[in-house]
Structure formats: C-alpha cells, structure tokens
Amino acid sequence: MISRSGTGGPGRLVLIFALSVLLPSLSLAALAWRSVEKERRALLAERRSGLQRAAILIRRELIGSVEKMRAEEEERPYYQYEPFFFDANSVGFGLNYVKSPISDTPPSPLIEGYFQLNPIGEVQSPNDPLGAIQSANEPLAQSSEGGVSVEGERAAPGDGPAQSGPHDEEQPEQPHIASEQEDTSRTPARDDRAAQQRDRQIVAQSGRTRRAKENFERNFLPQIKREQQVLPRNGKGQFLGISDRNREQRVSKKSVVANLDARTNAGQMLEGQIVRIADDDANQEEEIDVVASPFLLKSAPDGGVLAYRYVDIPNLNGAFGIKSPFLRFVQGFTLDTAYVTGPLFTDIRARYLDVPGGRAALVPENATPPSGEIVLEESLPPLPGYRLIVTDDDPTWVANRVREQAALFAVVAGGLLLVITAGLVFSIRTVRAELGLARRKSDFVSAVTHELRTPLTGIKMYADMLKEGWVRDEATRSEYVGFMAEETDRLARLVNRVLDFARTEQGNRPVSSMDLEEPIRDVERDFGPFIDEKGFALEVDLRDRRKVLADPDAVKQILLNLLENAVKYARDAEDRRITLSTRADGAHTVLSVADHGPGVPEGERQRIFSDFYRTGEELTRETTGAGIGLALVKRLAEGIGGAVEIRENQGGGAVFRVLLRTA
Amino acid sequence: MRSLLVVEDEPAVARGLKDAFEFRGFTVTVAVDGDAALDTARDGRFDAIILDIMLPKRSGFEVMETLRAEGDTTPTIMLTARGEEEDRVRGLMAGADDYVLKPFSITELVARVQANLRRRDMDRAPPVELEFDNVAVDLNRQVVTRDGAPEDLPSLETELLKYLIRHQDRVVSRKELLETVWEYPSADGVETRTVDNYVVRLRQKVEPDPENPRVVLTVRGKGYRFGWERR
C-alpha cells in the first residue's frame, strides 16, 4: 500500500491548514471584532448625540413658544385684564362696566385663564363665565392666613349692590364693584348682545375656565394675596372709570412716555413702561401714568404655572380732580400646562425626536422621572416646576444592532471560512491527486525500467557466461539457454502489456453480440501452460451465460491480465485453484476470475484500477509489474460498455467481476 | 577461498550470479530478501556482498545502512535496475563500496568484486614491523627479535599473525582460519586443534609473556582475536 503522502504528511497539512485557514480566520475575526466595536461606539455616540440634539431642539422650541406667548402678553394693555368699574362713591358719573376684550377667548392656547386682583383683594377673572367680579369678603390678612376659598364667597350673578355686604359696611370707602345690572348706561340692544355673548361664553369656556379658576384659587390666590398684602392699600383710593367710548379713543392715543424701573414690595425688579393715556373727551380729559411689570412666572407646589405682573398707577386723578393714592393691580393668567405638556409638547417632540427608543417627557419637579436611562435632564425657565427629561428607553438598541452586525459578520466570515476551507481542501486534494499521479507515473517508469532490466540482466548474464565458457557442463549450458528463453518471454510479455496499455485509449470500442466461450477457450489454451507451470489449476465454468455485447479481443486481454494478476498475487496460496466462470445476471453477464490469494483490502479496491497504481512500497515490493494490468482491464471493460469490480472470495482471496451487457 | 553473499530476489539472476562467482572460485551464499540478507550477513563471514536494492521485506538501502551501523565493513557492491543518480548516491551514502547497474557484464562484475577485495586487503595490510614490548617482529623478513636475540618466524605463523591483524576488528573462528590461512577448501570436519597448536607456537614467538597472552587473545567458544594494546 502506498503510504507516502503527497503533501508531506499530516504535520505539514496541519501547518498548511493553520496558515491558510486559521490565520486568515483569526485575522478576519480580529478585523470584524474591531469593526463591530467601532460600529458600536459610533452607534452609541450617534444615539446619544441624537437624543441630546432632540432635547436641545425640543427645549428651544418649547421655551420659544412660551416666551413668544409671554412677549405677546407683555404688549397687552393692563386695562384689557380688568372689567373697568366706577367707584360707587363716584357720584354722578354712573357706573360703567366695560368687559375686557380678552375675556371671551384667550388669544393663545397656552393661556388657560386670566385673572386680576385689585387692591382691595377682589379677584377679577375676566374669563369667569359669568363675567362677574369675585369679591374677597374676608380681609386680606385673613385670606393670607387661612387660604380662603374664593369659590364660596363669589357673588351671585346679578347680585349687584348686594355684593358690598358686610365688607362694604366695614369698609364703606371701598370701591363698589359694579355688575352688569348696575350698568345703567347700557342700551337694551347692547344688553341683549352681552347676554348672548355671555351665554356662548358659558357654553364654550365653562370647563376650561372653571379649571383655571380653581387652579388659580387653589394654588396662587393665597400667595398673591400675601404679596399684595404689603402693597400700600388705600381704602379710599378711587379709580376713575373710563367709558367704553372714551377708552377706545384713549387707546388710540396712548403713548409710552418713559421706561420705568420699579420694584415690587417683595423686592422684585419691575421693568415696565409708563403709559400715558389721553382722554380726548373734552369733559373727561385727563392723563394717567401706568407702570406694568413684565410677567413673572411662578409654579405651584401641586402643579400649574402662573404668569402675573404688577400694574401700578401712581397719581391717579380721582373724581373732581382729586389725586388718588398709588394704586396697584396684580393681573395675569394661568398657563394651560395641560396644553403645554400635552398637545404642544407632543407636537414638538414628534418633530424633533426621531431616535428609536428615545423618549422625551415634561415632568413636574416632584414627580417620579420616567423609566429608562436618563440622557438629559434640564429645567425649563418658562415652565417653572417642570423638567425636560430625555431618556433612552431601549438601552439595548445599540447592543442589538451590534449583535445583528456581528451575526452578519459571523455569517459572512463563516461563509468565507467555508469557502476558503473548501477551496483549500479542493486544492490539497487536487495537488495530492496530481502528485499521486506524478508519483505513480514515476513509479511506473521505475517499475517498467526494473521489469525490463531484470530479464535483460538474466539474458545478458547467461549470454556472457556462455560466451566466456563459465559453464561446468552441458546440462548447465542447456539450463542457461532455458533461463534465457524464459527471460525473453517475460520481457516480451512486459513489452506487449506496456504497448497494449499505451495503445488502449480510454473510450468506447466497437462491440457486437458474441458468445464468451470462444475467447475464454482461447485464453485457456494460450495461458493454461503458464498457469500450470506456476503450479495453479485453472477451473472454467461457462454453464450460466448468455450472449453479450463485447469485443472478443478486449475480453481476451481482460482475462489474460486478470489471470496473470491471480497467478502473481496468489503465488503463496495453499489453494492453487483459479476459477474462471460466467453467470447471467439480468441485463448483465458476469465474467469472474477468482483466486485464493491474500485478497485486496477494502480501502484499495477502487485504487487498484488506477493507472500505474501498485500496492506496497516500491523498494520492498514482493511482486513484479508496472501497475498497468488492472488499469488496462478497467479501460477495456468500460470501453465495451461494461464495468469491473472486486469482491472478497468466500474462503479467502479475491474475485474480479467483469460486468458485460447481455445482448 | 573468498566468500560472497549474493542478495537477489530474482531467482534467474541469483542463480546466474551464484554459478558465475563459484566458477571464479568464490564461495557463494544467496539471500532472497532483506531480512534474510541481514541474518546471513550477521551470522556468516563474507569477504564481499552483492546487494540488490529492490528486495522483499527490506530494501537494499536499509540492509546496507543497518550493516554499516552495526560496524560491518564488508565490501559491498549494490546491484540494481534503478540507475537514477539519486539512487546511486543514496546507495553509496548508505555505505556501498560500488554500484553496478543492471543489466551488467558478469565479467566486469567479477572484476569489480575482486578489485574491491584487493583494496580492502591493502587497507587492512598490517605494518611491516611490529613491536610488542621487548619483542620486535619483522613480517617481511619473518624475523622475531626478543631482547635483542633474533629468531625466525615460520611462514604459517606469519600468515596467521597477518590475518589476525587484518581482521583485528572481530573475532576470527578457527574454521575461518583453516579456510583462509591454511586454505582448506572446506574446513567442515577438520580438527581445529591444528589452529590451536599454531597459535601456541605463535605466542611463544611474539608474546612478551607467553603465559599471559596479550597479542593473540582467545575468545572462548568462538576463536581468536588480535588484542595488542600498548600499556
């Protein structure tokens, strides 16, 4: 059996495999890992920056919206916040009540409801569906201490003068708060319109306004009252009402006369404007200065945001030209936080937050932050009490993407590895096959050389001995001549076989229907003596046969080679029988040559039909030959449409079966 | 008579070699595979070996390497049908003394064997003058001088001493001595006491102290060995 490896043994194969597959694989894995790690860092950075960018944009947009609304409100004249009234003591002028134009519908969805708190502690909410003025029946001091609920103290609509009540008695100089019923200057048509308007207002704003009012009363009123408490309250202060007609005129002529820096009593800086309003009415012409602070924002402990400002009217001319004391209002509105944190925020968030798994929320200060990994948390100046929190709700997003990419890399690398391995295996097999063939060819040349030289050596040697007279006697001389003849036959057989092999091309040969008996008998006749000489007995059994499609010369060559092979390899067998038989088997007729030699190992049964293949090591081979006999048998069998196979002979030995097509 | 081991698995070739060399006066032994070649070479005493390379069981290269590794210096001629340079080099490197390619001229082969034997004999030729302490031996003149007193050394004793010196690397059997020194065609059945008697005479002549031999040593049951070592 040939044991030499064409690639130098398993050690070198392992080395080649390591160099060709493992090293590239490890390099590939390292590159893939580096790439994946780089991708992971990039994805993480991109995700974080995306969330932070979205947070900045959301914050900016949100602040911008609120600031814009606040700026617009800054421009709103103070008197639009209040339902103007005349002091009850302002005799002779009637009690005009003018409803604020913004009392119907807040101009911004951010604004939930307006309010005004006058110096005497009365809360005026223009958005009150009833349009009434709320009276704080209790003194301000009590309000600040007890958190007075204004709800239950509100004057019923149409109560009119009854609103004064005990409060009026204790403080008769308090300005009387007028109601519509007291507005005697109104025409009936105008009353109807006002009533209709009021009804619509009730329907449209009842829920929202009530909520705003409740929020204001609950969260801010006590606080504002506390601040207002320190205002210079002048119970005798009078406020000169301005008629509807005149007001319109005055508005058209108002002018900013100076900027004013002032401070609230709480020390808060007020940057306001002095607005001079000229009354064109010849009879009522007068000027007042109004100082309005910017809106201040304040959050309530349990929610809600209040925007409020101070409005100061120093040197107010009272009735009959009497200067009234300094007058201060607190007016403003509550922010519709439900809207800000709801639809507005949702809209902004939808526009900027496009990172999958990212979440932005407006969360009250004392509320639990949302779950998830917090990426950014910031307060919002226009929304005191609220934080903008951006979270990463899917921290595994990057890991999942990286895992997907790693899986992709693994699949690609695996495929590549598979291809490399397959290519390598294919290459190695090809190289080994080529090396094997080259080696077999080399062995063939060597074997043929040996097979040719050996009989030639005998012939030449005996010829030399005869020529030199190195012969003891005549019997020996005859013996030498016999040796020379044998060696010559041997040489001739070898030459003929090599020539047959060289002439026999692979491919189909012309076939005809024939009986196997004739070529078998020819072989028996020609080769029988040689078999006998070698001490074998040839048994022929042709009883089970049919006509086959074959070439008689091919069949004879096949048999000669198989019989010579049997003689060669069964030379040491005890059972010296060689059986040549036929058997009809369906579409085939099997021509068998069986011997009782050592047989052929399972692993070599295919290879022994290869060109130039010989079992065993060349240098220690115990049989002669060039490795072409069985290859020739295979070529011939296939050339006539048949096949050859080898099986184990029962009782030991080998059976060569040639399958021929039955005619 | 020279002895020859022919290692050849081809019966016709082996037979021709055996006949040819025997005709030329050699004693020929044939081995047909590598294992038999090693066994025969180890057991027997051969003046030369003709060794085929392609042999069953063990190649000629392997046989050659093994013999040389074991210290066998018998002249060996490799005989083979493999004529590639690589094979010739390998054979010579394994220890072969010559390399003859098949088919060969039998007369040339015999001549090459004899040439190798001559070369070996010359290599092993003992020096002309020897000195064993107070004993000086002149092999050419066949004179032994002990303590300044010269004495003749007979031819047979001289040849016996020469043979032992020539094969001082091994034990030489009595049978071998009879066949080589005495040139008996076959020593089978010959009384080996003859050798012992001559060895006694030789010791009397050349040993500084014949009672305690140091030149010709007896190897019990096997034969004799030249054993002189200067102290």
Tell me whether A52 touches chain B (CB under 8 Å): no
Distance from CA of B32 to the nearest CA of A (A): 11
Residues of B in contact with A480 (CB under 8 A): 16
Q: Please give the DSSP secondary-structure letter assigned to residue B172.
A: B
Number of residues that this document lists for chain B: 231
Distance from CA of A476 to the nearest CA of B (A): 10
Residues of A in contact with B85 (CB under 8 A): none
For residue B53, give the chain A residue with the closest CA.
A619
> Residues of chain B with pLDDT > 90: what percent?
45
Number of residues that this document lists for chain A: 663
Residues A460 and B104 sit within 8 Å (Cβ to Cβ): yes
Q: How many CB atoms are closer than 10 A to CB A280?
A: 13
CB contact under 8 A, B12 and A622: no
The b-or-e profile of A483-502 (16+ CB within 10 A means b, else e) is: bbeebeebbeebeebbebbe
Picking from A444, A452, A460, A464 by the largest number of B CB atoms within 10 A of its own CB, the best residue to mutate is A464
Q: What is the mean pLDDT of residues B201-223?
A: 91
Residue ranges, chain A, pLDDT below 50:
1-7, 83-104, 126-188, 198-206, 229-286, 317-320, 324-325
CB contact under 8 A, A619 and B105: no
Place of tokens 């009593």: A265
What CATH number does the domain located at B129-226 have? Answer: 1.10.10.10
Between CA B94 and CA B103, with CA B100 as vertex, the angle to 5 degrees is 140
Residues A131 and A201 sit within 8 Å (Cβ to Cβ): yes
CB contact under 8 A, B102 and A453: yes
Residues of B in contact with A620 (CB under 8 A): 34, 54-59
Q: Which A positions 598-627 lie with beta carbon below 8 A of chain B?
A: 617-622
Burial class (CB in 10 A: 0-12, 13-18, 19+), A170: exposed
**pLDDT value of residue A124:** 53
Picking from B7, B18, B23, B32 by the largest number of A CB atoms within 10 A of its own CB, the best residue to mutate is B23
Tell me whether A572 touches chain B (CB under 8 Å): no
Lookup: tokens for A606: 């295919």
> Residues of chain A with pLDDT > 90: what percent?
5
Structural domains for chain A: 69-335 (no CATH), 406-503 (1.10.287.130), 506-662 (3.30.565.10)
**pLDDT tens per residue, range A450-459:** 778 888 999 9
Q: Please give the DSSP secondary-structure letter assigned to residue B224.
A: E
Number of A–B residue contacts, CB under 8 Å: 88
**pLDDT value of residue A605:** 79
Picking from B10, B35, B54 by the largest number of A CB atoms within 10 A of its own CB, the best residue to mutate is B54
User: Distance of alpha carbon A69 from its chain centroid, rounded?
Assistant: 42
Domain ranges of chain B: 3-123, 129-226
**pLDDT tens per residue, range A445-498:** 777 777 788 889 999 999 999 999 999 899 999 999 999 998 898 888 888 878
Q: Which residues of B touch A (CB under 8 A)?
A: 9-10, 12-13, 15-17, 19-20, 23-24, 34, 53-61, 81-84, 101-107
Tell me whether A33 touches chain B (CB under 8 Å): no
Residues B183 and B2 sit within 8 Å (Cβ to Cβ): no
Place of tokens 């598979």: A418
Place of tokens 């103290």: A153
Lookup: tokens for A148: 């007075």
Q: How far apart are alpha carbons A95 and A147 in whole angstroms?
A: 31
Distance from CA of A468 to the nearest CA of B (A): 8
What is the DSSP code string of chain B?
A: --EEEEE-S-HHHHHHHHHHHHHTT-EEEEE-SHHHHHHHHHHS--SEEEEESS-SSS-HHHHHHHHHHTT----EEEEES---HHHHHHHHHHT-SEEEESS--HHHHHHHHHHHHHHHHHHTPPPSEEEETTEEEETTTTEEEETTEEEE--HHHHHHHHHHHHTTTS-B-HHHHHHHTS--S--TT--THHHHHHHHHHHHHH-SSTTS-SSEEEETTTEEEE-----
**pLDDT value of residue A428:** 81
Residues of B in contact with A465 (CB under 8 A): 16, 19-20, 23, 106
Tell me whether A460 touches chain B (CB under 8 Å): yes
Residues B137 and B144 sit within 8 Å (Cβ to Cβ): yes
Lookup: tokens for A566: 């049997």
Residues of A in contact with B25 (CB under 8 A): none
* First-last CA distance in chain A: 38
CA nearest to A578, candidates A561, A601, A596, A565: A596
**pLDDT tens per residue, range A585-604:** 888 889 999 988 888 888 77
For residue B34, give the chain A residue with the closest CA.
A620
Name residues whose C-beta falls within 8 Å of residue A14's C-beta, 6 or more positions apart in sequence: none
Higher pLDDT residue, B97 or A309?
A: B97
pLDDT band at B129, cuts 50/70/90?
Answer: confident
Q: How many CB atoms are closer than 10 A to CB A140?
A: 20
Residues of B in contact with A472 (CB under 8 A): 19, 23
Residues A200 and A131 sit within 8 Å (Cβ to Cβ): no
CB contact under 8 A, A620 and B58: yes
Residue from the list A460, A476, A622 with its beta carbon closest to the beta carbon of B103: A460
> Residues of chain B with pLDDT > 70: what percent?
95
Distance from CA of B91 to the nearest CA of A (A): 13
Place of tokens 């693994």: A410
**pLDDT value of residue A93:** 36
For residue A485, give the chain B residue with the closest CA.
B12
What is the 3 state secondary structure string of A338-401? Answer: HHHHHHHHHHHHHHHCCCCCEEEEEEECCCCCCCCEEEEEEECCCCCCEEEEEEECCCHHHHHH
**pLDDT value of residue A437:** 78
**pLDDT tens per residue, range A137-146:** 233 222 222 2
**pLDDT tens per residue, range B154-197:** 999 999 998 888 888 778 888 888 878 887 766 666 667 888 99
**pLDDT value of residue B31:** 94
Residues of B in contact with A457 (CB under 8 A): 10, 13, 81, 102-104
Lookup: tokens for A549: 């499609």
Residue from the list B57, B81, B105 with its beta carbon closest to the beta carbon of A620: B57
Q: How far apart are alpha carbons B203 and A404 in whole angstroms?
A: 99
Residue from the list B16, B17, B61 with its beta carbon closest to the beta carbon of A619: B61
CATH architecture of the region B3-123: 3-Layer(aba) Sandwich (3.40)
Q: What is the Cα gyration radius of chain B?
A: 20
Q: What is the mean pLDDT of residues B203-221?
A: 91
For residue B58, give the chain A residue with the closest CA.
A620
Q: How far apart are alpha carbons A206 and A130 in whole angstroms?
A: 9
Distance from CA of A622 to the nearest CA of B (A): 5
Residue from the list B9, B13, B23 with its beta carbon closest to the beta carbon of A457: B13
Residue from the list A464, A468, A620 with its beta carbon closest to the beta carbon of B55: A620
Lookup: tokens for A568: 């060669």
Picking from A439, A446, A454 by the largest number of B CB atoms within 10 A of its own CB, the best residue to mutate is A454
Burial class (CB in 10 A: 0-12, 13-18, 19+), A29: middle
Tell me whether A476 touches chain B (CB under 8 Å): yes
CB contact under 8 A, A480 and B83: no
**pLDDT tens per residue, range A331-377:** 777 788 888 888 888 899 888 888 888 888 888 877 888 888 888 88
User: What is the residue type of A469?
Assistant: G
**pLDDT value of residue B8:** 92
**pLDDT value of residue B205:** 92
B98 has pLDDT over 50 = yes
